[in-house]
Amino acid sequence: MRTEATARKSGEAFGCAPVDWEQTRAILKPLFDDRRHWIIVAHLDATPLIETIERKYYLRERNSDFTLITGFWRGQAYALVAARKRWMQPYQLGSLLRQMMTKFEIGELEGRDLYVPAPPQFLDNAIALAAFLFDKPAGLAIGE
């Protein structure tokens, strides 16, 4: 079953367009590889986390450094985010993850670029999506 995601790149070049999962991978993988972005593969249940990150750290001129793609993977909705690190420090992201996704431990968050917040019943699907997008099946920071 082929599904589509919707990519949104904000700022001056604002736009929304349907993209498939291969295109999603082509958009996000270079941002992951450059290590200058926080990458979040969040289940729908983590939507408040994504909204808070954008509202607190990526409004106005900073919004061009925030890429959001939404889509369905294996029947579940996900928000995929690439957010430039210069606007949100590790301790700020860690604090939000711990406040909103309480299962993260401090040690799990240190030195990571990729986070996968998802409820236990959807964690395997979220990890599979992250592995597909970034070729990184191990070493993910995972939270419930």
* pTM confidence score: 0.79
Query: How far does CA 139 lie from the centroid of its chain?
Result: 15
**Strand 37-43 to strand 4-9: parallel, antiparallel, or no bridges (unpaired)?**
unpaired
Q: Please report, for residues 39, 71, 116, the alpha-carbon distance to residue 49 in angstroms, rounded to integers and kept in the order given.
A: 13, 17, 12
At residue 105, the pLDDT reads 59
Q: Determine the residue type at 65.
A: D
Count of domains forming the chain:
1
At residue 7, the pLDDT reads 52
Supply the range of the domain harboring residue 36.
4-143
For the segment 13-23, the average pLDDT, to the nearest whole number, is 77
For the segment 98-124, the average pLDDT, to the nearest whole number, is 76
